[in-house]
């Protein structure tokens, strides 16, 4: 199950995820220390890319300075935010992380958290819709390489992953990507979703 909220709602106690829920911060930039107790993990891969964020903020500030109504709506439309963010989600490494979140959501409630109170002009809405749509489809355990553990359908990503330091990385199906030849998980999934140090997660075998 996919849920959505924002940091202030968590901090003020307006929203209280169940103890077994997974709470993910889906923002690009580093989080302030006070948010550390509110979320389980920071997943910047699922946030909008830096250039899109910068373009959006620039237009929003200009529209606000000019006294325009709904500067966020103007910025959203001007930079073609929706299409550009969806293109970002279609990239191979991002899809690996998406699938990890989908598998987690099949086991428990997953909360997507960012700074915006309203979803209307926020990537959080698009991300939630994407995850909900994908949940209705049949998918493999990992989109990069079919791991041996695929013969046990329904296993979560954290259950099939190698232990830290045991991954053997090879070139992935997309340019500039790496996947583990043993468990089949992509490097982005290992570092961002499983929170394993990518520099110490394993060795490159070929």
**168 phi, psi to nearest 5 deg:** -125, 105
The tens digit of pLDDT for each residue in 130-187 reads 999 887 763 444 444 444 333 334 444 555 567 777 777 776 545 456 767 666 677 6
Nearest Cα residue to 144 out of 185, 102, 183: 185
Segments making up each domain of the chain, as ranges: 2-135, 148-204
The better pLDDT of the pair 136, 102 is held by: 102
In the chain, the percentage of residues whose pLDDT exceeds 90 is 60
The tens digit of pLDDT for each residue in 9-65 reads 999 999 999 999 999 999 998 999 999 899 999 999 999 999 999 999 999 999 999
Mean pLDDT of 187-206: 59
pTM of the complete model: 0.67
For residue 127, the model assigns a pLDDT of 97
The better pLDDT of the pair 121, 193 is held by: 121
74 to each of 18, 47, 119, 175, how far by Cα in Å?
Answer: 36, 20, 15, 35
Helix locations, 5-89, DSSP H = 7-11, 50-65, 71-78, 81-89
Sheet holding 41-42, edge to edge: 2-6, 110-114, 22-25, 41-42
């Amino acid at each position: 199950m996919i849920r959505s909220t924002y940091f202030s709602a968590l901090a003020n106690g307006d929203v209280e995820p169940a103890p077994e829920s997974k709470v993910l911060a889906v923002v690009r930039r580093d989080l302030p220390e006070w948010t550390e107790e509110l979320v389980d993990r920071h997943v910047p891969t699922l946030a909008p890319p830096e250039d899109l964020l910068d373009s959006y903020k620039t237009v929003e500030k200009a529209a606000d300075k000019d006294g325009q109504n709904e500067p966020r709506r103007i910025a959203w439309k001007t930079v073609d935010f929706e299409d550009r963010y969806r293109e970002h989600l279609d990239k191979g490494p991002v899809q690996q992380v998406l699938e990890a979140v989908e598998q987690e959501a099949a086991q428990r409630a997953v909360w997507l958290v960012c700074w915006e109170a309203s979803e209307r002009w926020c990537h959080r809405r698009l991300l939630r819709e994407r995850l909900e749509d994908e949940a209705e489809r049949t998918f493999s355990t990992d989109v990069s390489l079919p791991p041996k553990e695929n013969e046990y359908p329904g296993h979560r990503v954290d259950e099939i992953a190698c232990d830290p330091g045991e991954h053997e990385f090879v070139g992935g199906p997309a340019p500039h990507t790496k996947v583990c030849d043993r468990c089949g998980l992509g490097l982005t999934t290992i570092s961002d979703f499983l929170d394993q140090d990518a520099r110490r997660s394993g060795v490159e075998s070929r």
